[in-house]
Amino acid sequence: MRSVGTDTAIVLLLAGLIFLVALGLGVWKYRQMVRSEEHLAHPYVDIAHRAALLYSFATLLIAVFVELSAWPPVVDLVAAGIVVGFFVMAIATYVYHGWRRDTDNQLRRPVRGTTAFMAVLIAGEIGGFAVLLIGFVQTQLL
């Protein structure tokens, strides 16, 4: 049986951990729904749960591109790490707001540095994945 590269295995492990967190967030969401008169969880608990589910599968997709990339493993791992790191930071932010119950829209009254952080997040996620996509194209299509 062929095993995947270490870089791919690390990204797959991250996907599994994010999925496990998503399942735990689902329990938190369910508990809030059961206890609420409206049978709804706080918006950011709901967002955290859904985002973690989606990001876990997005991380699986990233793992495939890592495995099929032409770049050295360290380049793939750094590119994937940037993207997944921002995924995890987003989930953590949603959990924070769900735990504090301090807002239903974190961008309504953004804290100082939000715009700069969002610019870095956009560049990191798109740039990191673009590196992997280019590595895939070089190996699989050229």
pLDDT tens-digit series, residues 77-93: 999 999 999 999 999 99
Structure tokens at 134: 């280019």
- pLDDT (tens digit per residue) in 99-142: 999 999 999 999 999 999 999 999 999 999 999 999 999 999 99
Question: Where does the pLDDT of residue 2 fall: very low under 50, low under 70, confident under 90, or very high at 90 and above?
Answer: confident
pTM for this entry: 0.94
Distance CA 80, CA 133 (A): 11
Say if CB 53 and CB 22 are below 8 A apart: yes
Residue 123 contacts by C-beta under 8 Å, 6 or more apart in sequence?
Answer: none
- pLDDT (tens digit per residue) in 21-63: 999 999 999 999 999 999 999 999 999 999 999 999 999 999 9
- As to burial, measured by CB atoms within 10 angstroms (0-12 exposed, 13-18 middle, 19+ buried), residue 47 is buried
Structure tokens at 75: 């380049």
